[in-house]
Structure 1
Amino acid sequence: MHNIHLRTHEDQEWQLIEEVLSVFSPKTCWEAERGYGGMNNTTYMLKLDGERYVLRVYETHTDLVKIAFEHHVLSALRESDFELRVPAPVKAIKGDGHTFHSIYDPRNGQNKIAALFTYSTGKNPVWNTPDQLVELGHAAGLLSGALSRLDISLEPVYPPYYQIQQAYPLCPPQKLIQLCMSPPSELQACAEEMQDLLPVLPALFEALNGMERLPHQLVHGDVNASNVLSDEDGRICTILDFEFATWDLRVMELAVPMSDLLTMDKSDEWMWEALEGLIRGFRKQVILEQNELLAIPQLILLRSLDVVMHFISRMFEGTDEPDVAVNQIIKLRERILWMNRNEERLRKLLT
């Protein structure tokens, strides 16, 4: 483990970790290593007097209400009959015992929110064979069922995916269309892809009409390989990152991992077997209605469109470099091209 604790007291990461630990733990002997996973937040793997923890610094926002809802969902899941593990936030030893705390980040002079979680064993899965996706579908279905049974007293903050028109004030639909018409210098690397999106975007936004009539429940909304852990036998044992949990379409819990599959560098045969396995694993746990299944092709593209608008907004905020948004724009175009070729076959697979 990279020992940040051995740095000088003037080191900014050292100062950040020291401040967080002064709130959450009385332990003074620590080691830390900056994590590599996640695109929205900064994580550190910690050892405190021999025990392992994960420190999370939220970079997406500084909204205490959003994080309170996330931690409330985690607490409710841990008290339920859900058979997989989820993160366990540590209560602060100072103040009112919250599981999150506002801190000053000396790295950029901004105020952030930090939380400490107990460490979950396991590793992010690598999809080597298509049959592994049955396991992901099964885990997503288990989670969907558990979330549908939770009694949550707090109101969710994030809007449903299909309310994307209001979700990103820095990049609303009309702004995105304008950017595609005249890509700024930061997005010139994907100017061709943005031009290809122009005739497609109005229909994508139009397809969202009527989605509010589909079955709703509490959803995780971001189940993928980076947000699950597998044990030594390859079985998914833990689901991570409930930051974007909200009240949304039940079927988004299947549409999201399906969307993430479509840009993998795999053969057509591999992809179709993986999609079939993912769907089969999910539907063992959740019985979807016919109108939900019919909406999945549009929801797959909606997921990718949402990610594009999210990271363009973060680019405007200065949180991410432009190449992050460029990569997501390219992936959106790839998914649209895939859907143009394969939508009919996908619908047959779903129904």
Structure 2
Amino acid sequence: MESLFRELISKYFGDLDYSTEPVPFGLTNFSRIITVKDRKYIARIYDRHTKNLENLLFEIELVTFLENCDLSFKVPGFLPTRSGHKYVELQGNRLGSVVPFIEGVIPDINSSNDVKEMGRTVGEISKAFEEFQTDLHTPAIQFSRFYDLHPLSSEETVAQFLLNPPFVVDDSHMALFRNLLDQFQPEHILLSHLPHQIVHHDLLIFNLLIGNNGKMNGVLDFDFASIDIRAFEPAICINHLLQFEDRTLDYLEIFLKAYSAYMKLSMAEIDMIPNLIRLYYLSLLCIYIGQYYSGKAVKDHFTFIIAQMSARDYWLKENKDNLKQTLIHLVY
């Protein structure tokens, strides 16, 4: 992998000296922070299983569109190589790119200011996504079709994983996983009536950056952006806030008030939020299973997410009515 990074960096910076350091998050691709002449960049080599050239060209066009939207925060635009291209084809059928490093710190979910900034940012970028149009191939990333999110994660390979898990997983968590897979078989759920648009799919704190002024400074990682059910975006963010169950609704209200300045949800979308959260977990777990079969070490990620899914499923059952009323009050 180091030789590929050297090849990638040379396409952008030639023989200039550089230093590298690891990025703190990310399992899907291979990324490094690089410093050249005291300026920082992110160099990324894409996973061959999840990023082909069509999908990368779509991501480049989407991010370029956002750069021209006069947003209140930055997005990491793709830098041109020395030959003028915004990506590099590397040895071994790998693709790579370099983007600017955006300064900031991840939002603190314990901070009402940061939660408000998250809500405002998710609303603002969702509003911008409504206007995006392209003639390019759009990635087939739909979290309601969880068996199609990784080429090595099919209904058959997921069943094989469940039959013979390669590491210890709590039996009750695996039982819930099986039950939800059966409940939400793609052909069993009717979601086509819900509004669709571009969805980022990963607006978690790890892809958001707060600046020194307390305002959102950057939104990162459009790797999973595609056309999907619009309400997946707030559902994924609501789930993120639900990690703090002792005061969930207080912080959820802060988030939703800021989000609603840009976006509203229909009653059909509000009714579906709990199940969209469950589908989000199924999608993550199926992606991890695909990554396992591609040779990645996913044990810690998988066991963490499946335990979180169990806790969230219980919370959603206990708080279904309160959650719905909060959503109706703030975003309907």
**Quick check: TM above 0.5?**
yes
* Identical counterparts, % of pairs: 23
TM-score by length of 2: 0.90
1:174 and 1:17 mapped to 2: Cα distance?
Answer: 35
2:216 maps to which residue?
236
SS class of match (2:89): strand
State the Cα distance separating 1:27 from its structure 2 match. 5.3
Specify the code of the residue in structure 1 equivalent to 2:141: P
Instruction: Please state if 1:148 is matched with 2:136.
Output: no
In the alignment, which residue of structure 2 is the partner of 1:102? 89
Within 5 Å, which residues of 2 pair with 1:279-318?
Answer: 279-318=256-295
Q: What whole-Å deviation, never above 9, does each CA across 1:225-245 have from its counterpart, x for those lacking one?
A: 001111013221211000111
1:173 deviation in Å?
A: 4.4
Given the alignment, which residue of 176, 179, 183 partners 1:203? 183
Deviates more, 1:125-134 or 1:271-280: 125-134
Select 2:75's aligned residue among 64, 86, 89: 86
Structure 1 residues 143-168: Cα deviation after superposition (integer angstroms, max 9, x where no partner):
00111112323121123222224334
Q: 1:55 aligns with which of 23, 43, 66?
A: 43
Task: Count the aligned residue pairs.
Answer: 327
1:260 counterpart = 2:240: yes
Q: Give the secondary-structure state (helix, strand or coil) at the position aligned to 1:189.
A: coil
CA deviation string 1:192-226 (max 9, x = no partner): 31024333432233796221111111121211100
Q: SS where residue 255 of structure 2 aligns?
A: helix
- Aligned residues of 1:86 and 1:240 also touching (Cα < 8 A): yes
Partner residue in 2 for 1:18: 6
Residue 170 (structure 1) aligns with: 152
Residues 130 and 273, structure 1, Cα contact 8 Å, conserved in 2: no
Instruction: Give the Cα–Cα distance (whole angstroms) in 2 for the partners of residues 90 and 80 of structure 1.
Output: 18
Q: 2:196 aligns with which of 207, 216, 226?
A: 216
1:161 alignment partner in structure 2:
143
Match of 1:346 among 312, 323, 326: 323
**Mapped partners of 1:150, 1:86: distance in 2:** 15
Cα root mean square deviation, aligned: 2.2
TM superposition score normalised by structure 1: 0.86
Match of 1:9 in 2: none
**How far did residue 174 of structure 1 move?**
6.0
State the shift of 1:300 in Å.
1.0
Separation (CA, whole Å) in 2 of partners of 1:320 and 1:272: 35
